[in-house]
Amino acid sequence: MTRFAFAALLALTGAAAAQDTPPDIDLTPLVASVGLTDTLTALEAEPASPGRDFALGGLRFLLAIEKTLQLRYRHNADFGDMDLPVLRLPLPDNPAAEPFYAALVADLFRDLVADMATAREDLRGATGEFGVTLDLTRLWFDINGNGAPDAGEGLLDAAGAALGQGLPQDLNALTVRFDSADAAWLEAYTHLLEGFGHLVLAFDPTEVIEEVNTSIAQMQALRGARSSDYYFWFTGQERFVDAFAVIYGAVNRQPDVAHVHAARDNLLAMVAANRRFWEMVPQETDNNAEWIPARGQVSALGITLPEDTADRWLAVLQDAEDVLLGKQLVGHWRLEGKGGVNVARLLQDPVPIDIVTWLHGHGLVRYMETGPVVDEGNLNRFAEMFRGDALLFMVWLN
């Protein structure tokens, strides 16, 4: 039934399209009514086409995010204010949650890494002319797995957290038309999330989480009931302290070299795909519900970007690529601007991240050398365009 519905919608759209252009695919009716999984199933049964392949890649990307939310919801894994990709997304409370387990974070990112690679396979076919439309206000994640959209499951709920600020929840529609340039943008985002996933797996926190949780239970047993008038420096900040202990404990161990290399390679691929996106955008001649607008276009979000957005953003990406390749060094106070840390060498032969020895310098001296040091000039020039919203636009532009 779902496949028939999709075929009917595609036929109706194609009937109104010009003979020499492929028909747009409107995902909104199916996504809104049956969710991401059933829409993906319907699309998989259709003949391959650039629009269909982009839609498949986009749906797999969104389903990967949905899977992370479902796993966290199943175990009430609310990471509070931890401002990290996917972990920062808000969750409703699960009154019947299963117990939290130490390997949850590693399991989550292991699946995310695999799912991003799968999404990219579909995006390989998303070339040439096509259009895929989607009303973002109708898109929802089935967080609790009941097959129906519930409060707090809308994309705008998650996007507000990802962008660091609330989004209007009373929009009637926010329809975007994605095209071939957006396939490069999405490819870049898959590399970004896969790269971050590899970084987490390189410093697999499972053992540290188990140690921290065990020690918390032991200290609670020793303490007994807390006195209502007792106060210490970190009283009330337990979640932050526990999270810091996990992160510091994980990164201060020997990382898995293969995962570090995979993280580096994905970040370089992200820069390449993003650069390709910005090469394609100026070639567009339409102005139709754009996701990220070129000069003279307006985004479906109602945003017109400053004219030199692309140039300033590409300069930021160039700095990032130069650092990853060792063409520019990251400064260290010990060298007083004469040189710095060669990040390329550090990523090739990684060591534990020891905050104390890195700050002092002796933990990094083997990677230090003289040479050009990256500065904040390009990043500051980009930030100046958007003032206090620079981080929001960095997340959007990728």
Helix (H) or strand (E) holding 197: helix 180-202
Helix (H) or strand (E) holding 134: strand 132-135
pLDDT of residue 58: 98
Query: Which pair of structure tokens corresponds to residue 24?
Result: 């747009």
Alpha carbons 321 and 191: distance in angstroms, whole number: 14
Q: What is the pLDDT of residues 183-216, one digit of tens each?
A: 999 999 999 999 999 999 999 999 999 999 999 9
Alpha carbons 314 and 303: distance in angstroms, whole number: 19
- Using CA atoms, how far residue 129 sits from 10, 125, 182, 352, in Å, is 16, 11, 12, 47
Q: What percent of the chain has pLDDT over 70?
A: 88
CB atoms within 10 A of CB 388: 8
Please answer whether residues 39 and 59 qualify as being in contact, where contact means their C-beta atoms are separated by less than 8 angstroms.
Answer: yes
Q: 19 Cβ partners below 8 Å, 6+ apart?
A: none
pLDDT of residue 20: 60
SS3 102: coil
CB atoms within 10 A of CB 279: 13
pLDDT of residue 11: 45
Residue in 42, 32, 40, 41 with CA at minimum distance from that of residue 5: 42
Q: What is the pLDDT of residues 112-159, one digit of tens each?
A: 999 999 999 999 999 999 999 999 999 999 999 999 999 989 998 877
pLDDT of residue 14: 47
Q: What is the pLDDT of residues 12-63, one digit of tens each?
A: 444 444 446 778 999 999 999 999 999 999 999 999 999 999 999 999 999 9
Radius of gyration for the alpha carbons in the chain, expressed in angstroms and rounded: 23
Give how many domains the chain has, as a whole number: 1
Looking at the domain assignment, is residue 392 inside a domain?
no
SS3 167: coil
Give the largest Cα separation in the chain, rounded: 77
For residues 298-303, average pLDDT: 80
367 DSSP assignment: G
For residues 60-82, average pLDDT: 93
* Residue 167 or residue 128, greater confidence: 128
pLDDT of residue 233: 75
Looking at the domain assignment, is residue 143 inside a domain?
yes
Mean per-residue pLDDT of the chain? 89
Looking at the domain assignment, is residue 68 inside a domain?
yes
Task: Region of 147 please: left (phi>0), alpha (psi -120 to 50) or beta.
Answer: left
CA 100 to chain CA centroid, nearest Å? 24
Looking at the domain assignment, is residue 255 inside a domain?
yes
Query: Which pair of structure tokens corresponds to residue 205?
Result: 């926190």
Looking at the domain assignment, is residue 94 inside a domain?
yes
Q: Which domain holds residue 201?
A: 25-220+248-305
25-26 sheet: strands from edge to edge: 25-26, 132-135, 175-178
Q: What is the pTM of this model?
A: 0.91
pLDDT of residue 260: 99
Region of poorest pLDDT, from 80-84, 134-138, 170-174 = 170-174
Looking at the domain assignment, is residue 181 inside a domain?
yes
Please answer whether residues 18 and 2 qualify as being in contact, where contact means their C-beta atoms are separated by less than 8 angstroms.
Answer: no
Q: What is the pLDDT of residues 238-296, one digit of tens each?
A: 888 999 999 999 999 999 999 999 999 999 999 999 999 999 988 877 778 888 887 77
Looking at the domain assignment, is residue 79 inside a domain?
yes
Region of poorest pLDDT, from 1-5, 76-80, 175-179, 228-232 = 1-5
Please answer whether residues 2 and 10 qualify as being in contact, where contact means their C-beta atoms are separated by less than 8 angstroms.
Answer: no
Q: 114 Cβ partners below 8 Å, 6+ apart?
A: none
Alpha carbons 37 and 2: distance in angstroms, whole number: 11
Q: Is residue 8 over pLDDT 50?
A: no
